[in-house]
Amino acid sequence: MQPPAGRKSLHFGMVIVGLPYSFKGMMTVDEVVGGSPYGATTIANGDGSRQPSVAELAGARYQGELVARTATKLFG
């Protein structure tokens, strides 16, 4: 059995910077919200009738800032 492609990349030194549980926006039960520990996501309709929510956009910004901070720590 072949390992998933992501695991092969990890073997070569790839760093995964996901959306941590410290981002409380994905823990809400008040609305349907995308997002997982692997990263920011959105739940959308194929016809474009549902756009990313405020919480989903905040999660993407949070993860983007985390990626930038991690890259700075790794590469200066």
The structural domain count of the chain equals 1
Characterize 20-54 residue by residue with b for buried, 16 or more Cβ atoms within 10 angstroms of its Cβ, and e for exposed. Answer: eeebebbeeeeeebbbeeeebbbeeeeeeeeebbe
Between residues 24 and 3, which one has the greater pLDDT? 24
pLDDT tens-digit profile of 39-76?
A: 998 888 889 888 888 999 999 999 999 999 999 998 88
pTM equals 0.76
Say whether pLDDT at 30 is over 80: yes
Domain membership flag for residue 2: no
Q: Is 68 among the domain residues?
A: yes
Q: What is the pLDDT of residue 10?
A: 67
- For residue 45, CA distances in Å to 49, 52, 53 come to 6, 10, 13
52 in a structural domain: yes
CA 66 – CA 17 distance, rounded (Å): 7
Residue 6, in any domain of the structure: no
Range of the domain at 24: 20-75
Positive or negative torsion for Cα 36, 42, 46, 50: positive
pLDDT reported for residue 61: 95
